Structure 1
């Protein structure tokens, strides 16, 4: 399922996109790296009434909503040095949360802050896996989403207001996120958090 988002924008630092994707590559206690896609639709009913939403469809919708919230919260924390880092726990977990906390603490220690907004022009749900057999080992429901981002309008400034972004920074790219729900049994719709992120070596998506 590919969802076009037009010019909807969320702010997230360009350095956040690069660093978090690199730092969160550790898979310790992360959700399964190769989730098995499950059905994303149900067979049509013999009557004309609409088919009920399948568990996979519901998980996909909840995970994409969590992905939107992730970009919103990460950006707000990056733009406001007084924003509590605890807010990151509402949108991230596992290695992604650790990477975000480390990154934002480092940025704040250096007196850096983000300006501008990242534009998300497209994202694609690659797979849905509802295996919840062993949360302690990372076997939890997981939705894998590829995100196309555009950071041409984003800057990161030091304490003197000088940009620290490299002039060679790419303006667009793709990142693959795993959105996991470690509380699926108790909260199948609201427990989704971004657990890992990894940059993809693909052709840049079109700038928004």
Structure 2
């Protein structure tokens, strides 16, 4: 199955969250990130102690998204860093695609400087259906992220920037964060599974 994923692309040097097609990884893909299908948690859910399973899922998935950006930045900045660390923050199609992109950039001698900022993060829905993990029916949280790469550059093997001067510094991507280990680890088992770039007004750069 082909999944469109929101990924920070090095290949073109644009450093925007470009949608790419990639096959899934070892875990079956969760439902596509089309429309939120369950009640969204309150905006304050991630700012206080979780009081319901939905709040706990929101907190765990939000932490997973932030960790995902941190780990991807680290791996793009240090060519010696172990790519297996991606398994701690990504799964399914997202893991396969981001691993492929980072390997490609390393082969071409590209290196990132600076870090990606998350300017806005909005939880759209929570679905705690864990009825059939083997078929991809696992708990998911859909999160919209406005990312900011205004402080990020990408250098080629000669140390020259390959980022286009017309690069958009901010944009929105909708991520599906899934927990394939929900029964055993409802808090820490969240991983970014898929993503879809959104066509909407970017947030302000930081």
Superposition TM-score, scaled by structure 2 size: 0.83
- 1:36 deviates by 2.3
Change (3 A) 1:206 1:52: closer
The alignment covers a number of residue pairs equal to 187
Q: Distance in 1 between matches of 2:110 and 2:191?
A: 26
Change (3 A) 1:84 1:70: same
- Which residue number in structure 1 is paired with residue 17 of structure 2? 18
- 1:166 deviates by 1.7
Kindly indicate whether the alpha-carbon contact (under 8 Å) linking 2:130 and 2:138 is maintained by their aligned counterparts in 1. Answer: yes
Q: Please list, as runs of the form range in 1=range in 2, the aligned pairs for 1:157-176 lying within 5 A after superposition.
A: 157-176=155-174
Q: Distance in 2 between matches of 1:140 and 1:119?
A: 29
Structure 1, unaligned stretches of length 5 or more? 1-11, 42-50
- Which residue number in structure 2 is paired with residue 108 of structure 1? 106
Kindly indicate whether the alpha-carbon contact (under 8 Å) linking 1:22 and 1:199 is maintained by their aligned counterparts in 2. Answer: no
Detail structure 1 runs of 4+ shifted over 2 Å in the superposition. Answer: 12-19, 21-29, 38-41
Kindly indicate whether the alpha-carbon contact (under 8 Å) linking 2:23 and 2:97 is maintained by their aligned counterparts in 1. Answer: no
Q: Distance in 2 between matches of 1:90 and 1:22?
A: 22
Q: CA RMSD in A?
A: 2.3
Superposition TM-score, scaled by structure 1 size: 0.82
- Which residue number in structure 2 is paired with residue 201 of structure 1? 199
Q: Distance in 1 between matches of 2:118 and 2:23?
A: 22
- Which residue number in structure 1 is paired with residue 4 of structure 2? none
Q: Please list, as runs of the form range in 1=range in 2, the aligned pairs for 1:35-46 lying within 5 A after superposition.
A: 36-38=37-39, 40=41
Change (3 A) 1:140 1:168: same
Q: Distance in 1 between matches of 2:39 and 2:189?
A: 19
Change (3 A) 1:117 1:57: same
Q: Distance in 2 between matches of 1:55 and 1:110?
A: 44
Structure 2, unaligned stretches of length 5 or more? 1-6, 43-48
**Pair 1:69-2:67 in alignment:** yes
Greater Rg over alpha carbons, structure: 1
